Structure 1
Amino acid sequence: MWNQFLQPFDQMFEYIQPICNYLKLPLLPGHIHEVFGALLFYQILYMYIGPRISTYLAPKTYPIFQGRSKLDWNIHIVSMTQATFISFLSQYVVLFDYERKRMTAQERAYGYTELSTTALAIANGYFIWHFIMMTKHVNAYGWGMVAHACATNFLMIQGFRPAFLTYGVASYLYEWSNIPLNIHRALGKLKMEKSKLYVFNGVTLFIVFFFCRIWWGTYLTWWFYKDIWNAYISPPPKGVEKLPTWLLFGHAIATTTLQSLNFVWFFLIARILLSRVVYKKEKRWTSAKGE
């Protein structure tokens, strides 16, 4: 019975394997089911599960949402789910994957662990979904979010090469900041801007964002640059093809894009927090098209 259930997947792997080999992503076939599984789950959550849960939890508010408000709410239900799950998973990998901790600079560039690859695959399913949504709704979210999605997907898909796979898992710790961010957005939609919970969550967002994306992000980016340079000037491990220059250059550009956006968003969060909490003025997180 179990073998019959797995047979279609085995056939799918036979078709995918040559494509992945051509693209030089040899780790992807063994984890493609996790990528597709996560992608499918988040789409079902967005279309069916999320709206039903939202109607149950906010019966007086959610049903009257229209346009951008409803789109934003549904997307952030998915974002909240993904951020919570991947934050705990990546934190576990960073703390308890001892094989990963013992890696040298060369191993961080060319190596991988099974646990790290699993975390990469699950997160990659979300980031593909995120890219599709940001591209589809670029008029609502802007080209900055499309650039963020492109940079993220470029970095993550190359992890299956493997190329700097362990850095992908470490960067998932950024997702801790998305938990209070999504709560903050939800409280705003529910007209709870004057509540103590709103203020407390806003301060929490500022602190968590700083430590996750500014402090940790800068530290991680610095080490990433060093390992990219080391991979450029040093020979690869015996029997392994050297990472091409275009890939190293692409990693540097994508990382710079992501970290630059982190600083831009931190500035916006700080400005809005000061406006709402200190000066008691209203400022929106995003434009209000369609609200």
Structure 2
Amino acid sequence: MAGLVHNLNLELSPLGSSHAVQAFSSALRLKTLPIHIDWVILSLACFTALYSFLAEPITKLFIRKQWAAFTDKQRADWKLRVVSLAQSLLLGPASLYVIWLQKTQWQDRSLIQRVFEYYEPETHITNVAIGYFLWHFAMMIKEFDRHGMQMIAHAVIGVVFLGGVYYPFTSSMTAWFLVYEVTNIPHNIYKFLIPLGKGVSPFSIANAVVWIVSFLFIRIIWGTYATYMYLSDLFALYNSSMTVQELGRDEWEMVQHLQKKGLEPSAVRLLVLVWCTTCGIILAGLNYLWFVLIVKTFIKKVSSRKVSPGEGQKTQ
């Protein structure tokens, strides 16, 4: 690990957590996890503290009377939304910024670089996301009777899918999908307005329009394109062997370059291809389904000017 850290110009975690996960990371070949584990732990701790200690007093600063009238269920849901909004405000804009940074670099990156190179900005936002999903997983276990298995599966898939960045594997592409969190900003605002009795207010309608438009452009149009580009690279590597004859001299030289840095570019295995393809297709399909349901809910709300607390779909 010391050689890898030296080659990547990084340092082991200052809290000493690197040694605690060394065996785990070695077993799963997650070579850069020990470098980033402190940030994952910090992210998890921050989201836990926000839910347990900060969400309620922050809320009382703005809606003390309404909070006093909330049921225990409403309070728990509200605090979940506070954390969800916080991570959306962090990950959404950060992912947009990383994608903007990539715009001049992406064309210069080879196939091998796009899939196996280590990219620090992308990995840092993934640290925050994994910390959030670990917190989310714990909360869904705690409140299983209210949220069910689907939300637990959502958290598990999020951790496993994003965890590949520590191989590193497709770390350059994680921002493409974390940018989906931008759409959860108006979504959480919508959820906040319902218990306040403002689900059909002019502001709520305007917020819903922003939600629909952002969902269309980010999750449907951009998401479809990103999924296609992501899977195209994986299929291209699966259909070629790790040889100079198959990859071409330039790509083969990049393989050797990354190996000298301590990284391990390799052919994409069938199981990995099936997993990534399944996750990509399911996520894209869910986005299309959610978009239809959001539009239907919006049309119903506008036409009837009445919304019930149970309406709306979870999109995170």
The TM-score, its normalising length taken from structure 2, stands at 0.83
CA contact (8 A) 1:84 1:179 kept: yes
SS in 2 for 1:61: helix
SS in 2 for 1:277: helix
1:99 positional shift: 4.5
1:158 matched to 2:183? The reply is no
1:47 matched to 2:52? The reply is yes
2:25 to 20, 27, 39: 20
CA contact (8 A) 1:181 1:205 kept: yes
Q: Quick one: structure 1 residues 258 and 19, their matched pair in 2 at CA, closer, same or farther if it must change by over 3 Å?
A: same
Q: Quick one: structure 1 residues 10 and 48, their matched pair in 2 at CA, closer, same or farther if it must change by over 3 Å?
A: closer
Deviations 1:176-215 (A, max 9, x none): 1000000011011111123210111111111111111111
Indicate the larger mover: 237-246 or 105-114: 237-246
Q: Aligned partners of 2:22, 2:12: CA distance in 1, in Å?
A: 15
SS in 1 for 2:168: coil
Q: Aligned partners of 1:243, 1:128: CA distance in 2, in Å?
A: 27
1:135 positional shift: 3.3
Deviations 1:99-134 (A, max 9, x none): 456322222211221111111112211122122223
1:10 positional shift: 5.4
1:220 matched to 2:226? The reply is yes
Letter in 2 for 1:121: N
Q: Aligned partners of 2:194, 2:287: CA distance in 1, in Å?
A: 22
Q: Which residue of the partner structure matches residue 3 of structure 1?
A: none
Point out where structure 1 has 5 or more consecutive residues left out of the alignment.
1-5
Q: Quick one: structure 1 residues 68 and 10, their matched pair in 2 at CA, closer, same or farther if it must change by over 3 Å?
A: closer
1:38 positional shift: 0.5
Deviations 1:138-184 (A, max 9, x none): 33223333332222222101111111112212111101100000001
CA contact (8 A) 1:25 1:158 kept: yes
Q: Quick one: structure 1 residues 44 and 222, their matched pair in 2 at CA, closer, same or farther if it must change by over 3 Å?
A: same
CA contact (8 A) 2:227 2:280 kept: yes
Q: Aligned partners of 1:86, 1:183: CA distance in 2, in Å?
A: 16
1:12 positional shift: 2.9
Q: Quick one: structure 1 residues 258 and 8, their matched pair in 2 at CA, closer, same or farther if it must change by over 3 Å?
A: closer
Q: Which residue of the partner structure matches residue 89 of structure 2?
A: 84
- Structure possessing the higher radius of gyration over alpha carbons: 2
Identity %: 27
Q: Quick one: structure 1 residues 127 and 196, their matched pair in 2 at CA, closer, same or farther if it must change by over 3 Å?
A: same
CA contact (8 A) 1:174 1:213 kept: yes
2:237 to 217, 227, 231: 231
CA contact (8 A) 2:223 2:284 kept: yes
Q: Aligned partners of 2:48, 2:89: CA distance in 1, in Å?
A: 17
2:294 to 255, 265, 269: 269
Point out where structure 2 has 5 or more consecutive residues left out of the alignment.
1-10, 243-254
Q: Which residue of the partner structure matches residue 194 of structure 1?
A: 200
The TM-score, its normalising length taken from structure 1, stands at 0.89
1:55-204 alignment runs, 5 A limit = 55-97=60-102, 98-99=104-105, 102-204=108-210
Q: Aligned partners of 1:168, 1:138: CA distance in 2, in Å?
A: 28
1:7 positional shift: 11
SS in 1 for 2:32: coil
Give the length in aligned residue pairs: 282
Q: Which residue of the partner structure matches residue 247 of structure 1?
A: 272
CA contact (8 A) 2:44 2:135 kept: yes
Q: Quick one: structure 1 residues 144 and 16, their matched pair in 2 at CA, closer, same or farther if it must change by over 3 Å?
A: closer
Q: Which residue of the partner structure matches residue 30 of structure 1?
A: 35
1:205 matched to 2:230? The reply is no
Q: Which residue of the partner structure matches residue 247 of structure 2?
A: none
Q: Quick one: structure 1 residues 147 and 8, their matched pair in 2 at CA, closer, same or farther if it must change by over 3 Å?
A: closer
Q: Quick one: structure 1 residues 44 and 101, their matched pair in 2 at CA, closer, same or farther if it must change by over 3 Å?
A: farther
CA contact (8 A) 1:62 1:70 kept: yes
Q: Aligned partners of 1:134, 1:100: CA distance in 2, in Å?
A: 37
CA contact (8 A) 1:187 1:193 kept: yes
Letter in 2 for 1:203: V
Q: Which residue of the partner structure matches residue 285 of structure 1?
A: 311
Q: Aligned partners of 1:247, 1:137: CA distance in 2, in Å?
A: 32
Letter in 2 for 1:245: L
Deviations 1:9-39 (A, max 9, x none): 4543223223211111001111111111000
